[in-house]
Every structure is written in structure tokens, then in C-alpha cells.
Structure 1
Amino acid sequence: MAVVASAPGKVLMTGGYLILERPNAGLVLSTNARFFAIVKPLYDEIKPDSWAWAWTDVKLTSPQLSRESLYKLALKNLALQCCSSSESRNPFVEQAVQYAVATAYATLDKNKKEFLHKLLLQGLDITILGSNEFYSYRNQIEARGLPLTPEALATLPPFTSISFNTGESNGENCKPEVAKTGLGSSAAMTTAVVGALLHYLGVVNLSSSKDQHQEKKDATDLDVVHMIAQTAHCIAQGKVGSGFDVSSAVYGSHRYVRFSPEVISSAQVAAKGLPLQEVIIDILKGKWDHERTKFSLPPLMTLLLGEPGTGGSSTPSMVGAVKKWQKSDPQKSLETWRKLSEANSSLEVQLNMLSKLAEEYWDAYKCTIENCSRLKSDKWLEQASEPKQDAVVKALLGARDAMLGIRYHMRLMGEAAGVPIEPESQTQLLDATMNMEGILLAGVPGAGGFDAVFAVTLGDSGSNVTKMWSSQNVLALLVKEDPCGVSLESGDPRISGVTAAVSSVHIE
């Protein structure tokens, strides 16, 4: 009786830095890159003396890192003790396990407690797997002499192991040298583990992913997953971030305004010794004041992500520098934030307008997008032959202007704070991208830096961008927007990958 849950990675399209402070909003897109958690019993049956046990076993496997960790979980205070080498510990999964099990103890009624106790005595066998899109495989592609294209990435088997750093000659300290693509792997992993465990332990009933019309009752289940995953993620990180990455891992694409950090304060105190179950009750009853509004890209638009290969940037240190600048120059920074916030709102208004036009005048919308996808933006207005098409083009151009405004103020902020939010090399690449046919937007997602670039393309214009990026040594990733949040999967994701690969082998 294995439970498999998955949660998506994210791209923060607007709201970098501002999203840290209420009431600023950010537009976050969830992607087809997903983290999977597989939960099943460790032992088939419970030994007769198990009623007296104070501990149960937890095994955590991460095949891509070739790691396996064993833990003892105390059934009284739910503390997790690692029995393997400390090298292989994963604080995100550890907190997810403790908080999910504590939630089951805190919320299930008496009849279900017995079932819970039996389940836990069978031990927990947890496997985590991340889609290739979370990690950089640029080195493998170059080592195989393949071109830097999405097609080359597609030749890697699903859940490819992550290359180990060969620097240590003794082979003892084999720390994985994981270059990430900035899609929020820790948030997706934490959410997948929390979702899988809460479903497995009978606390929530997650619907399977592709049921778009989730009933209201599911919303309350998702809210429980959200509160517990946010808390576990913050405790593992050692700080309370804006939480947009966990929110999109739970709910999918949306417009997000952060929760007040105080909601998690009881959990931070708990790290100092409050019983976990009491903390959970506090958290579930807390005043979660985050806002979540429906948002996804308008039809016939595609999100593209590129990895520039200049090595990632450290988001926390960039955020630190921006906060320092805010303190040192409050007046100038407030002004920049206000303008940035206006540009963010303007982009959101134009994109929502485009979704509305697509709904109301599909034929005119479709025709306009197809025409614009073959032209540079300065030629878009010329081909609008009637008022409805004109309205679509004006919204497209409005979205472009808003994005240029966002980029301009992000660059100013970076210069003032002394951090490369949109480094010169990225500026050149983004300008060249925005000047191509059929490109609506291009920018640096999230906190910016060297991590990644994104583009939103119209119709089929994306393939030209991937070619141009490839010529600039930028690897276009196999990441698309997928508005679906945390969900149940029907089986082990490794098997579906294998069957698909096997069926594509033609026997002559």
C-alpha cells in the first residue's frame, strides 16, 4: 500500500524581493518539474512484542544521490534520531516527517489512533525523487559531446543520478556537487513528503493530480498540507522566508501575498522544547493571512527557462544585501519598491486582460497571437485589422512595457545594493531575446542573479529562442508551466518512465 505524492517546482515571474514584505504580491508559476515522495511500510507485519516498543524505524532513500539514511522515531515525543552517518542527513525531509506524524497524532480521533499506531509500528519507508529539471546536467551533456539543446537533455533517463564531486581523492567525503536550476527543490521536496505522509497516515485525502476542479473539501485538505509544509520548510531552513515556493508547490500557479511570519512563531519556540503536538494545534488554528488568487499564463503562451551556465547565485546573500540597502537608504529604496510594485501590478493586469480576451473572443485572440508569433513586437500593431485584435495587441505591448519597467527597476536596485540582480551578461541576453519574433517577455526570475533566465513566447516561436540561447551557451530546459499543485500519483514514477522508454524501442 504505497502512497506516491508529487509537488511542482516554481518560477517566480514577478515579485522578487518585494514578496518578502506584505502586502506586495508575486506571480508564481508552478512547473512540470516535480518532486516525488513514495511512502510505504518498512515491514510487512508487526512483531508480537511491538506493543511495548517506544520507537519505530524510518528509512529514507534518495536514489539520485545514492544515499540511504536510517532513523529511529520516538513514538512518545516524535523526536527523530539519525542512526546513519550525519553526512547524509536531509533536514527538510526530517522536519517533514516529524511534523506530518505529529499532525496525525494531534488531529486523528481515538478510533483512528489505533490504526495510526499500527501503521507507524510497521516503520516508514520513504523514497524521494526529483525530476531532472531541478538539477543542472550541463556537465554531463558537454562531457558526452552533445549540443546544449533541450533535445540533448531529453536523452538523459528520468531521475538521472546527480554527479558526485571527484575532488576528494580519498573518496571518503563524497559530497554531491549539485548544481541546481533554481526551481525550488527543497520546497517541492518538503511538500511532496508532507503530502504523501499526511495521506498515508489518513489525515488528508489528496485527490489525484489532474482533477482540475477540486471540490471545496479538498481545499481544506490542501490547506493542512500547506500549513504543515510551510512550517517544516521554515524550521529546516532556520528562517521564515516568504513561503511562495511552498505555496506554489501545494496549490500550483497563482498570485501570492505572504503570510505574517508570526504564524510560525510557536514552531520556532518548539525547536526549544515544546511538545510537537501542541505546536501543531497552534499552527493549524493560527491566523494564516496569506492571499492566493487564481493566475496562470494566458492561452497559446509558453514559459521557457534557460540555464546560462555561469554557476548559480546565492539568493540569501543577495536578499541580505538588498535588506541592508533598504536600511541605509530608506527613502530611495521605498521609491524604487513603489515603482517596481506598480510595474508588477501592471504586468499582472495585462496578462489577466489577455486571459479574459482569450475567453471572450477566442478566434480574434488566436489569430492575433499566431500573427504576432511570427513578427517582432514593433510590427504587432500593423497586423491588427479590427478592434478585438487591436485590444489583444495593446495588452501584449502593455505586458512588454511592464516587463521592461520591472527589469529597469530591478537593475537599479541591484546597482544600489551592490549585487548583480540582472548582471550585464544577462541584460544582453534578455535584450536580444526580447528583440526576437514572437517574444512577449524575458527576465530573470525570483531574486535574479546568474541562476536562470525566463522567456514567455507566443505560439510556436519558442524553438527559435532555444536555438539562439544555445548559440550563446545558454541551455534551454525542459521546463514548462503546469498549473497543478501537490497531488497523488498512481504509481512509482520510475516505472512509467521505464515503460515509456521500452515502448519506444522498435524491434526490427
Structure 2
Amino acid sequence: MAVVASAPGKVLMTGGYLILERPNAGVVLSTNARFYAIVKPLYDEIKPDSWASAWTNVKLTSPQLSRESIYKLSLKNLMLQCVSSSESRNPFVEQAVQYAVAAAHVTFDKDKKDALNKILLQGLHIMILGCNDFYSYRNQIEARGLPLTPEALAALPPFTSISFNAEENGQNCKPEVAKTGLGSSAAMTTAVVAALLHYLGVVDLSSLSKDEGPVDVDMVHIIAQTAHCIAQGKIGSGFDVSSAVYGSHRYVRFSPDVLSSAQDAVKEILLQEVMASILKGKWDHERTKFSLPPLMNLILGEPGTGGSSTPSMVGAVKRWQKSDPTKAEETWRKLSEANSALEIQLNILSKLAEENWNAYKCVIDICSKQRPEKWIEQATEPSQEVVFKALLGARSTMFEIRNHMRQMGEAAGVPIEPESQTQLLDATMSMEGVLLAGVPGAGGFDAVFAITLGDSGSNVTKTWSSLNVLALLVGEDPHGVSLETGDPRIKEITSAVSAVQIE
């Protein structure tokens, strides 16, 4: 029986760089772009001679990259060995498999371990699929002579193949996949871990409610964080995995030493022992519920300058912190205060919507049709005035955040908000109905985001198109990891067909 799990991509709205250090917080929004993992047995039944074997087979397929890898999994030390060509290896999926199987070993008693071995001896077939939004299809759209519009993007088939970059001699090389910065590796790792843990019976994700999942989700979180960090070769802040598991929230990172046993895991230590100490570790990350206030929409635009390398930008900022600690500390303090202030204004807006929906809705309707400098003139009564004030407060805080981020980039010598992005963001923030615009996460040339009010999003996408910026089809969806009922390709194709409007 196949198990399908999915996990969302993310946009880090506030907390870029600061989120790397406790106790700084970041606000991360999960999106409706999802990564899917399908896990099923490789064979219908266990071969008679397989009990004598200390190995089982694992097959990983990635249709979008036209790739297939075959592995052997040792049932003793739970390590994977690639037996197909090494070009197609995927370290994130490899670590997800190893740590998920190790978690089953650690948590099961003897009877359950026997059942686990039976499942494993049938082999594992894992397929991964990422929504188109994770990747840049700009070149394909331009090659077809189509305009840079969301409609052109929507016309692409679901789970479209990702093009390879051919080398001069015409050989296919490792594809340099142009990404949109939604955190594909974190979403992919989380989806694979969730599907495997459910398939192996370690967790039961079928009871996931729309609001709050059971404790089982925490297990998915710990194992996905571990696998993702080991695959990356470093311990990041983990906000991308956290939002892939839990959805939109305010996040404070875990202490890195909780993963020291995994980092120090020399080949001699069994993976089971490493996993046992990680599960017992003090996971001290913090998350607080957060999602955008009502009638606000997240939109993302791809400026077409290619993504930026987050690790190298983070490295440059860290070097600057060491070389000029006083200035760095002051900038971080101001940035941290501005991030908190923005979060407070957005929470106030959510509360105002709850307390007086009519006044709130009326103000959002007005602002969605006006340029921001005209907003405050429209207030006719006190209940509306507080909403206008909170909106304008959020805007001025966003300008402040961007200012500090730019200063940090200039001091560190990296383009956190490059000049071209500054012009685009300023133009966006002056449009009708735009509350905020910024560069998410570490900044650079990745996609930009805007938070729009009411129905004003379509005007933004049109204007972006004229500025050679491709508006993506992504929006906020506050839900995290979930169990799916079937193959997403069938569902995506039927919804794509029904979305086509016949003129």
C-alpha cells in the first residue's frame, strides 16, 4: 500500500541572518507549493532467500529530473550504499531514509522490529515530486515566446521536467537547477521522512487535524531536521524544515549542540545509537502560531537574475560581525527590534479583524484601491482609524527593516538588497493595495515577496510583468506536513484541467 506525504515550501518574511542565533525570532510563512514523497514496497512479496540476506533494496525515482537511483540498505547498520551511477545521488533523501529507519529501530520493541524487517525486506520504492513553483521555468516560457505572466506559468503541465544544462561537448552534466528560493531541499526531506515514518508505522499522520497535529509530528520534525543538517554538512537555523513540518509560525532556532552526536557520528557508532541520543536530546526550538491577517495575500515575483548562494552570503555577514562587532551588534539590535515591531503590527491587525470585522474589511477594501500615501485621509471613524494606523505602522517598519538589511549588506560587502531589487521593491511598495514588499530570507537575487490587500494582487502581477518580473503562482497556506490520499499527479492534472477557462 503506497503512502503519500507532502510538505510545503516557505518564505522567511522577517528574521534573515538573525534567526541563525538564539534567541532571535523569525516569521516564516508556509506556501501552497508542496513537495510530495510516495513510498511503497519494491516487491509484492518477500523473496524466499531474502531472510538470509543482511541487505534490502531501495529505489529512488525523481521523474522531473528523469533520474533513478538504486541503493542497498544494510539491515545491520542501516547505512545505504549506492549501486547505480553516483551522479544521480540525492544526499537529502539518503539521510532521510537512514534516519527514518533508525528511528523505527530505536522506538520499536522486539515484535515490532520483526514486523519492520518484513516491511524492509520487501524493498522500498520512493518517488519524489516537487510543485513547479519550486523551480524557475522562466527560460521555458521565454523560449515559447509567451509573456511573463502567471497564466503562462499555469499553462505548464504539473510537475514539469526540469531542464538540464548541457556542457559544451553535449554531455548532460549535473543540472544546475534554477530555483525560486522556496526551500525545496527542506520540503523534500520532510515529505520523505513523514511518508517513511508513517509507512513503517513509527507515526500515524492520518489523525492530523487542520489546526494542530499530534505528538507524532514532533518526531517528523526531529528526524527531518537531523537528516537535513547532515545532508547539508552543517547545522543551519532549521526554520525551513520547521515550517515544512508545522506550517506558518514564529520560530526561534534549536541549540545546535542537540545534533552534536550526529555530527560526531564516526562510522564505528551505529546509527541506531546516534538516533537514540538525538531523540532524547533537548530540542529547545520555539514556535508560536502566526499567519497573515485576513484579506492579505502573499505574492512572489521572480526578477530573472538567477538565485543567490545563501551560504556564501551568510559567511560574509559572519566575517563582518567578527571584524566590526560593535557596529554589527548595533545593526542586529535595531533589526531585531524592527522585526518584532512588524510582527506586533500584524498581530494587532489580526486582532482588529476579529474584534470589528466590518470596520476592518471596509478599510482593507479602501486601501486595496488606493496608493498608500492616500490611505490615512480615508478614515471616517475611530474604529477604522486604528486599522489604518496599524497598516501604516507595518509599512514604516518594513522600510526600516529593509534599510537595516541594506546597511548590513553594504558593510559585509554582499548584495542583501541589490540596487535592482531596491528599485523593484520601492516601485512595488508604492502600488495601490500593497502593504509590504521585501527580499525574503537572506536576500540577494532570489524571488521578492509582497503582501497585498484584498484583490489588488492582479494589478501587482501586471505591473511586475511589464518590469520583466514573473509573478509566481504561490500563496500562503498555513498548513504544514500532511498525508495525501493518492498520487498528486492525478489530482494536479484534474485541477489543472478544471482551472482552464473556456472563453
TM-score range, shorter chain: over 0.9
Instruction: Give the structure 1 partner of residue 90 of structure 2.
Output: 90
C-alpha contact 1:33 1:131 (8 A) present in aligned 2: yes
Q: Distance in 2 between matches of 1:125 and 1:307?
A: 34
Instruction: Give the structure 1 partner of residue 469 of structure 2.
Output: 474
Q: 1:180 to 1:271 in 2, by over 3 A?
A: farther
Residue 205 of structure 2 aligns to a residue whose secondary structure is coil
Describe the superposition over 1:283-302 as per-residue Cα deviations: whole angstroms up to 9, x where unpaired. Answer: 11100110000001000000
C-alpha contact 1:208 1:488 (8 A) present in aligned 2: no
Letter matched to residue 338 of structure 2: A
Q: Distance in 2 between matches of 1:469 and 1:170?
A: 35
1:379 shift after superposition: 1.3
Instruction: Give the structure 1 partner of residue 176 of structure 2.
Output: 177
Q: Distance in 2 between matches of 1:74 and 1:365?
A: 59
1:501 shift after superposition: 4.5
Instruction: Give the structure 2 partner of residue 115 of structure 1.
Output: 115
Letter matched to residue 41 of structure 1: P
Letter matched to residue 477 of structure 2: D
Instruction: Give the structure 1 partner of residue 210 of structure 2.
Output: 212
Q: 1:151 to 1:271 in 2, by over 3 A?
A: farther
Q: Which moved more, 1:492-501 or 1:282-291?
A: 492-501
Q: Distance in 1 between matches of 2:475 and 2:501?
A: 29
Instruction: Give the structure 2 partner of residue 186 of structure 1.
Output: 185
> Which runs of structure 2 are paired with 1:348-367 in the superposition (5 Å)?
348-367=343-362
Letter matched to residue 192 of structure 2: V
Letter matched to residue 234 of structure 1: C
Q: Distance in 1 between matches of 2:340 and 2:37?
A: 36
Count of paired positions = 503
Instruction: Give the structure 2 partner of residue 227 of structure 1.
Output: 222
Instruction: Give the structure 2 partner of residue 125 of structure 1.
Output: 125
Q: Distance in 2 between matches of 1:373 and 1:502?
A: 31
Residue 257 of structure 2 aligns to a residue whose secondary structure is helix
Q: Is the aligned partner of 1:39 residue 2:11?
A: no
Q: Is the aligned partner of 1:325 residue 2:308?
A: no
1:384 shift after superposition: 1.5
C-alpha contact 2:207 2:214 (8 A) present in aligned 1: no
Q: Distance in 1 between matches of 2:257 and 2:362?
A: 49
Q: Is the aligned partner of 1:412 residue 2:393?
A: no
Q: Distance in 1 between matches of 2:293 and 2:499?
A: 33
Q: 1:307 to 1:75 in 2, by over 3 A?
A: same
1:378 shift after superposition: 1.4
1:116 shift after superposition: 0.8
Instruction: Give the structure 2 partner of residue 392 of structure 1.
Output: 387
C-alpha contact 1:168 1:174 (8 A) present in aligned 2: no
Letter matched to residue 411 of structure 2: A
**Aligned residues: CA RMSD:** 1.5
Q: Distance in 2 between matches of 1:241 and 1:502?
A: 40
Describe the superposition over 1:162-186 as per-residue Cα deviations: whole angstroms up to 9, x where unpaired. Answer: 0111234342x43223100000000
Letter matched to residue 186 of structure 1: S
Q: Distance in 1 between matches of 2:398 and 2:121?
A: 54
C-alpha contact 1:7 1:250 (8 A) present in aligned 2: yes
Instruction: Give the structure 2 partner of residue 10 of structure 1.
Output: 10
Q: Distance in 1 between matches of 2:134 and 2:18?
A: 24
Q: Is the aligned partner of 1:442 residue 2:416?
A: no
Describe the superposition over 1:449-497 as per-residue Cα deviations: whole angstroms up to 9, x where unpaired. Answer: 0011100000001111111111111100001000010110000001112
Q: Is the aligned partner of 1:25 residue 2:22?
A: no
Instruction: Give the structure 1 partner of residue 164 of structure 2.
Output: 164
Instruction: Give the structure 2 partner of residue 244 of structure 1.
Output: 239
1:505 shift after superposition: 7.9
1:279 shift after superposition: 1.1
Q: 1:471 to 1:505 in 2, by over 3 A?
A: closer
Q: Distance in 1 between matches of 2:455 and 2:207?
A: 30
Describe the superposition over 1:198-235 as per-residue Cα deviations: whole angstroms up to 9, x where unpaired. Answer: 000000011377x3133xxx431111000000000000
Instruction: Give the structure 1 partner of residue 274 of structure 2.
Output: 279
Q: 1:442 to 1:170 in 2, by over 3 A?
A: closer
Q: Distance in 2 between matches of 1:53 and 1:427?
A: 60
C-alpha contact 2:299 2:472 (8 A) present in aligned 1: yes
> Which runs of structure 2 are paired with 1:49-64 in the superposition (5 Å)?
49-64=49-64
Describe the superposition over 1:115-140 as per-residue Cα deviations: whole angstroms up to 9, x where unpaired. Answer: 11110000000000000000000000
Instruction: Give the structure 2 partner of residue 382 of structure 1.
Output: 377
Residue 214 of structure 2 aligns to a residue whose secondary structure is helix
**TM-score normalised to structure 2 length:** 0.98
Q: Distance in 1 between matches of 2:348 and 2:498?
A: 43
Q: Distance in 1 between matches of 2:103 and 2:110?
A: 14
Residue 451 of structure 1 aligns to a residue whose secondary structure is coil
1:383 shift after superposition: 1.3
Instruction: Give the structure 2 partner of residue 152 of structure 1.
Output: 152
Residue 10 of structure 1 aligns to a residue whose secondary structure is strand
Q: Distance in 2 between matches of 1:137 and 1:187?
A: 20
Q: Is the aligned partner of 1:497 residue 2:495?
A: no
Q: Is the aligned partner of 1:76 residue 2:86?
A: no
Letter matched to residue 196 of structure 2: L
Q: Which runs of 5+ in 2 are unaligned?
A: none
Q: Distance in 1 between matches of 2:18 and 2:33?
A: 25
Q: Is the aligned partner of 1:316 residue 2:314?
A: no
Q: Distance in 2 between matches of 1:50 and 1:456?
A: 56
Q: Tell me which stretches of 4 or more aligned residues in structure 1 moved more than 4 Å.
A: 501-507
Identity fraction in percent: 81
Q: Distance in 2 between matches of 1:74 and 1:155?
A: 44
Q: Which runs of 5+ in 1 are unaligned?
A: none
Q: Distance in 2 between matches of 1:413 and 1:499?
A: 47
1:269 shift after superposition: 1.2
Q: Distance in 2 between matches of 1:203 and 1:10?
A: 26
Q: Which moved more, 1:178-187 or 1:376-385?
A: 376-385
Instruction: Give the structure 1 partner of residue 196 of structure 2.
Output: 197
Residue 207 of structure 1 aligns to a residue whose secondary structure is helix
1:386 shift after superposition: 1.3
Q: 1:52 to 1:192 in 2, by over 3 A?
A: same
Residue 494 of structure 1 aligns to a residue whose secondary structure is helix
Q: 1:186 to 1:506 in 2, by over 3 A?
A: closer
**TM-score normalised to structure 1 length:** 0.97
C-alpha contact 1:208 1:487 (8 A) present in aligned 2: no
C-alpha contact 1:29 1:252 (8 A) present in aligned 2: yes
C-alpha contact 2:303 2:469 (8 A) present in aligned 1: yes
Q: Distance in 1 between matches of 2:321 and 2:76?
A: 46
Q: Distance in 2 between matches of 1:106 and 1:273?
A: 17
1:271 shift after superposition: 4.5
